[in-house]
Amino acid sequence: MGGSVYKIIEIVGTSDKSWEDAAKTALETAGKSLEDLRVAEVTKQDVTVENGKISQYRVRLNISFKYHMEK
- Decide if 46 is inside a domain: yes
Strand order in the sheet with 37-50: 6-15, 53-66, 37-50
Count of domains observed in the chain: 1
Is residue 4 very low, low, confident or very high in pLDDT (cuts 50, 70, 90)? Answer: confident
d(Cα 43, Cα 52) in Å, to the nearest integer?
A: 25
pLDDT digits (tens, 9 = 90+) for 20-65: 999 999 999 999 999 889 899 999 999 999 999 999 999 999 999 9
- Decide if 71 is inside a domain: no
> According to the model, what pLDDT value does residue 40 have?
95
Contact assessment for residue 25 and residue 58, using Cβ atoms and an 8 Å cutoff: no
Residue 36 belongs to domain spanning:
6-66
- Decide if 1 is inside a domain: no
Here the CATH number for the domain that contains residue 32 is: 3.30.1660.10
pTM: 0.82
Question: Taking the alpha carbons of 63, 65, 67, 70 in that order, is the dihedral positive or negative?
Answer: negative
